[in-house]
Amino acid sequence: MAEYPARSSAPRSSDSRGSRGDSRGDSRGPNKRRFQVRKKVCRFCVDKTPFIDYKDMKTLRFFITERGKILPRRISGNCARHQREVTVSVQRCRNIALLPFSGEK
């Protein structure tokens, strides 16, 4: 008769590994872009904001990084017209010391 070795410390051989290890051909797919394309709409166009208030730093805060830099348009999603207004507004807002020129930290 077959004799079992030790009955305790027998490791379950490679069982928990099988479901994960299959190689998915991730980045080799036909679609190049990794990020899902989400249509960004300029929020000022959506809100139908007539102009951007440079004193409204709560709004302008969205368009600067935490280091105080203005977000580029492809990140903020603004249209060209409003991005220009945001830029001017942020600069004015800095000028009256509502926003920092550079990061606080």
Q: Which residues bind Zn ion (CB under 5 A)?
A: 42, 44-45, 79, 82
Q: How far is the CB of 14 from Zn ion (least distance, A)?
A: 56
Measured from the CB atom, is 20 or 48 closer to Zn ion? 48
* SS3 letters across 72-98: CHHHHCCCHHHHHHHHHHHHHHHHCCC
Measured from the CB atom, is 45 or 75 closer to Zn ion? 45
Q: How far is the CB of 87 from Zn ion (least distance, A)?
A: 13
Residues 74 and 83: their CA atoms lie apart, in Å, by 10
Q: How far is the CB of 76 from Zn ion (least distance, A)?
A: 10
Q: How far is the CB of 42 from Zn ion (least distance, A)?
A: 3
Measured from the CB atom, is 42 or 64 closer to Zn ion? 42
Measured from the CB atom, is 44 or 63 closer to Zn ion? 44
- Are residues 63 and 26 in contact, defined by beta-carbon separation less than 8 angstroms? no
